[in-house]
Structure 1
């Protein structure tokens, strides 16, 4: 019987931002509002960009698995948190187990070597966490080990060097104390945003591996709180709820996708984060979910144009908590959860497997982001009334980092009044 351990994945997103992988060259080079890349990151950016297409494919494949599990509920997760944790796990995996993990993350191992993948994730973490981005994005990787388990020095050294891994000794034979230690750590690292991440720990657990992401961003153009009003949101044909609806009139990046019958509006955060708000026409959400791929995002990016709009967007808080072992198994990551697992690169012996993978994410969207922007700008409006775009039925929200072309978060908001 293999010894089991938990993997716990966490994303905390404050005020509507998530990381994800966009195709390269998504920027409009002539758009003065786009932030310029930091030239001294160019070497890191090259390493990161090797991961971009694969991380994007993983993000949207995983999205399709999540919505199959919870078809009529809010969805919110961080693909970069999941892929980072499993890339880190691949450091200690061997043979077929390692191959399945990396191929499950959509990497073609005939085109990219495992060392290149690890270097790319190392540089991605560094770039996403860089203070110059003006977006607070903290990625934390941690391992909690029973005292009896002696990990190989090479594994710990590599994981610390590549993933800034923090290691802690934990007494899993006392589940209550172990849960408190882990949950206190997670709550502190996510500024109180994620609480009670782990519960009902098995006393036989020997290791918990966690990847945590905390995001905090401010809208480039904040909404005025006095313009927020209660309006109707149409969950489905039978259900209507009241939500606080923010409102802003101005020029926005806009595109209508005729093939997918959806409206796309892009909002920037201060710094390098961007949100795509996607409103499908009535009855078209399922078509959008089933066909969404990275090339779709590229098409939207290429076709956005400035348009004067009267925009209504709900103020909401949602979270998602998922046991994702089954979803990952469907994507080809199988052996690591069974007695066929080979994680001998962690301890030197093969007596180890993953018993559970938990991912928890949360998102708050309000008028300011989290802090009011210091700048003031006046826009001159035409006298004619601009068209109104109102996000008053289920929609998607995708959050990207422009400096790394990464998909930070993917959300499907079915009912903004339900927080979890």
Structure 2
């Protein structure tokens, strides 16, 4: 396979050059407020993904960072100037110099949630009533993001309230967002969720057949796979990262990047370390068109976690101790949870059939642990990112 792909040109993705060169490239790649915002939310997402991946090195993990960015950006509206600057740095907004930052984010969120892209998100703050909350903050967030923070009653009612709201926002696709009540001494709870079911540009002819998926250090598992000959992708080999990368087009200017290591390994640290908005934008311009015999696992998954313990890894340890949420309450208020849940499905359906009937010479068979990301091509925003170590253990 690798020699064949080399006929199409060998992609050698390079490690990041010195800062000056990176700055130059950054200016070239991201030129509008929206693409700069797309890059910032993506880089925050890659950092969050790395923090989560390093906690648990050999499990399936999934995130929709754009919904987390929205929840934490809502929270930043309640912080002192100093605390807001700390949050902005973690969210990568300090690189933007965008006086209209909230409007840019709001517009970008609206564009990535248009019906054809297949993404729905939910982001909201839930606040302990005992904090004697400042009503101006509620109005400020609602005016900007169209969602009003909510004061909690305390107890099981809150759990039902949050679960119902997330379900409603995601077309009843993200269910049972919380499985246990929030802590009694709750302060501020950031809620973020997403559902993704994008449609392929080119459909898959066959699906549902069980095939072997290799698992690191264990027997292969049988999982449903989709397969199609003459499938149009963009492709390349990265010899530094020992992986083959394919970009698969989805409808409405969304695409999936798949990073398939050469060997059956669940250690994808080197690959995870290389991910950045700049790196992925470079890929989208460097990968070369090819027709391949493409085999992909059918993904149906639901994943949830509390991201609060990871925020310290993003440089927010000091902020977590003292977030200075003075516009929310005169009392000291802390972030007490940052629950996140995602649900995703892929299916064989697509817009069009492959153009030829003769079998492809190239094969791209995703039958071992891999990383993938889903990106909005217009803004460059990272919509979804995941590491699949064993698709057999994925459930909705």
Q: TM-score range by the shorter chain?
A: 0.7 to 0.9
1:337 to 320, 326, 336: 320
d(CA) in 1 for partners of 2:364, 2:192: 37
Q: Which residue of 1 aligns with 2:170?
A: 190
Residue 75, structure 1, aligned to residue 40, structure 2: no
Which deviations, in whole Å up to 9, do the C-alpha atoms of 1:92-126 show, x marking residues without a partner?
011432221111112336x625x433232122122
Q: Where in structure 2 are there 5+ consecutive unaligned residues?
A: 1-25
Q: Which residue of 1 aligns with 2:246?
A: 265
d(CA) in 2 for partners of 1:128, 1:246: 26
Q: Which residue of 2 aligns with 1:391?
A: 366
d(CA) in 2 for partners of 1:138, 1:159: 19
Q: Which residue of 1 aligns with 2:279?
A: 296
Counterpart contact for 2:368–2:389, Cα < 8 Å: yes
2:94 to 82, 101, 108: 108
The structural deviation recorded for 1:365 is: 2.2
The structural deviation recorded for 1:241 is: 0.6
Secondary structure of the corresponding residue to residue 246 of structure 2: strand
The structural deviation recorded for 1:246 is: 1.1
d(CA) in 1 for partners of 2:299, 2:74: 33
Alignment of 1:8-407 (within 5 A): 46-108=32-94, 112=97, 115-131=99-115, 134-145=116-127, 150-172=132-154, 175-198=155-178, 199-205=180-186, 207-225=188-206, 227-250=207-230, 251-282=232-263, 283=265, 285-338=268-321, 340-347=322-329, 349-368=330-349, 373=350, 376-377=352-353, 379-382=355-358, 385-407=360-382
Secondary structure of the corresponding residue to residue 360 of structure 1: strand
Counterpart contact for 1:140–1:165, Cα < 8 Å: no
Change (3 A) 1:146 1:259: closer
Secondary structure of the corresponding residue to residue 74 of structure 2: helix
Report which stretch shifted further, 267-276 or 393-402: 267-276
Secondary structure of the corresponding residue to residue 311 of structure 1: strand
Which deviations, in whole Å up to 9, do the C-alpha atoms of 1:343-367 show, x marking residues without a partner?
01123x1421111211111222222
Secondary structure of the corresponding residue to residue 202 of structure 2: coil
Query: What is the root-mean-square deviation of aligned Cα atoms in Å?
Result: 2.6
Secondary structure of the corresponding residue to residue 203 of structure 2: coil
Which deviations, in whole Å up to 9, do the C-alpha atoms of 1:274-311 show, x marking residues without a partner?
11111111157332123223333133212222212111
Aligned length: 366
Q: Where in structure 1 are there 5+ consecutive unaligned residues?
A: 1-22, 28-44
Change (3 A) 1:24 1:272: farther
The structural deviation recorded for 1:393 is: 0.5
Which deviations, in whole Å up to 9, do the C-alpha atoms of 1:73-92 show, x marking residues without a partner?
00100111111111111000
Counterpart contact for 2:323–2:333, Cα < 8 Å: yes
The structural deviation recorded for 1:185 is: 1.7
The structural deviation recorded for 1:167 is: 4.1
Change (3 A) 1:305 1:381: farther
The structural deviation recorded for 1:140 is: 3.3
Which deviations, in whole Å up to 9, do the C-alpha atoms of 1:309-338 show, x marking residues without a partner?
111111132232222222111211224432
Counterpart contact for 1:26–1:301, Cα < 8 Å: no
Secondary structure of the corresponding residue to residue 142 of structure 1: strand
Secondary structure of the corresponding residue to residue 58 of structure 1: helix
Secondary structure of the corresponding residue to residue 336 of structure 2: strand
Change (3 A) 1:177 1:387: same
Kindly indicate whether structure 1 or structure 2 has the higher relative contact order, using CA contacts under 8 Å at least 6 residues apart: 1
Q: Which residue of 1 aligns with 2:7?
A: none
Give TM-score, length-normalised by structure 1.
0.79
Residue 409, structure 1, aligned to residue 384, structure 2: yes
Give TM-score, length-normalised by structure 2.
0.84
Which deviations, in whole Å up to 9, do the C-alpha atoms of 1:182-218 show, x marking residues without a partner?
1122122222322222223223335544333333321
Which deviations, in whole Å up to 9, do the C-alpha atoms of 1:255-276 show, x marking residues without a partner?
2222222111122222121111
d(CA) in 2 for partners of 1:273, 1:286: 26
Structure 1 runs, 4 residues or longer, greater than 6 Å off: 23-27
Counterpart contact for 1:26–1:302, Cα < 8 Å: no
Which deviations, in whole Å up to 9, do the C-alpha atoms of 1:2-44 show, x marking residues without a partner?
xxxxxxxxxxxxxxxxxxxxx89889xxxxxxxxxxxxxxxxx
Change (3 A) 1:74 1:81: same
